[in-house]
Each structure stands twice: as C-alpha cells, then as structure tokens.
Amino acid sequence: MRRGIDWGRAAGLALCASLWGACVLLPVQAGTAGAAPASQLRCGWWENPTPSNAWLNDRDGSWTVGVQGGHQAEGDWPGFTDAQWVRTNGYYGYGCACLRVVVEARSQRVERILSARARPLAACRQDRQLREPLRPE
C-alpha cells in the first residue's frame, strides 16, 4: 500500500479563491474505504453544440459531460437565460457556468453533476485563462 494520500479513496475540499472560479483541490484523507468521491467546483464555458453533447471548458482543460450515444453524466445541466446563452446551431450553443461535480480526472470526464448554475457571459469573458468558444460564421 502507498503511504500518504490514496487518491482513489481521498475526499477533497475545493476552495475557490475568487469570484471567477479559481479553485484549488485540497486533499483530505478519507476515513473509510467506502468514502464518497470528492466533489469539485469547476467554472468555465459550458458548450452544448448539438443534442446530448456537452463539455465544460475551464482553466484545467475540457471536461466531457455528455457524448451522443455514449457517456452522459448524472445530474441536471445548467439552465441559461437568453442573455446568458450564445446560439451557434439553432437552440444549441454555449454559456458561462459553474458546476459542482464529481469527475474522473484521468479521462477529464464528469461523472456526476451535484449542482449547476449559469453565470453572466461577462464572467467568463473577463477571465483571461478561459478561451471563448468560436462562433460559426
């Protein structure tokens, strides 16, 4: 057995340093082998370009939420107002959001969405570490 933190059984605490979603995951040793996976707060561009396809693109990369005919994370997606959503394909497009999620870090896949909230587009546009999705011409 490895010494120190066993990331497979570790619980975590996400501390957010700013309004724009800069988060640091601090490990905490889990008490039992059956401990629930750690949740993380992730903020960035939510992309939903076509039915059942969705990603959250934050400072750490692109997190797969759903792929048509394949993986779909458990939990509710964020709801956006017209002012919070950029349409790129009919009703599909992108917006800015924060999600509390359980992820599979190696594959950068969201397994479960615990909560989700839409944010103003300006919140992501003002974050220099986030790149706004391209709009089709």
Reported as a single tens digit per residue, the pLDDT across 49-98 is 999 999 999 999 999 999 999 999 999 999 999 999 999 999 999 999 99
If we measure between CA atoms, which residue out of 65, 83, 82, 61 comes closest to residue 74?
65
Domain 11-125 grouped into CATH 2.60.120: no
Q: Which residues contact 135 (CB under 8 A, 6 or more apart)?
A: 86, 88
Phi, psi of 59 (to 5 degrees): -65, -20
Q: Which residues contact 95 (CB under 8 A, 6 or more apart)?
A: 45, 46, 78, 80, 84, 85, 86, 118, 119, 121
| Exposed / middle / buried, residue 89 (Cβ in 10 Å: 0-12, 13-18, 19+) | exposed
| Token pair for 92 | 């599909």
- pLDDT tier for residue 36 given thresholds of 50, 70 and 90: low
pLDDT of 32 above 80: no
pTM value surpassing 0.75: no
Q: pLDDT at position 37, please?
A: 75
Do 67 and 50 form a contact (C-beta atoms < 8 A)?
Answer: no
Q: pLDDT at position 8, please?
A: 39
Alpha-carbon distance of 118 to 88, in angstroms, equals 17
Q: pLDDT at position 7, please?
A: 36
Q: What are the residue boundaries of the structural domains of the chain, listed by start?
A: 11-125
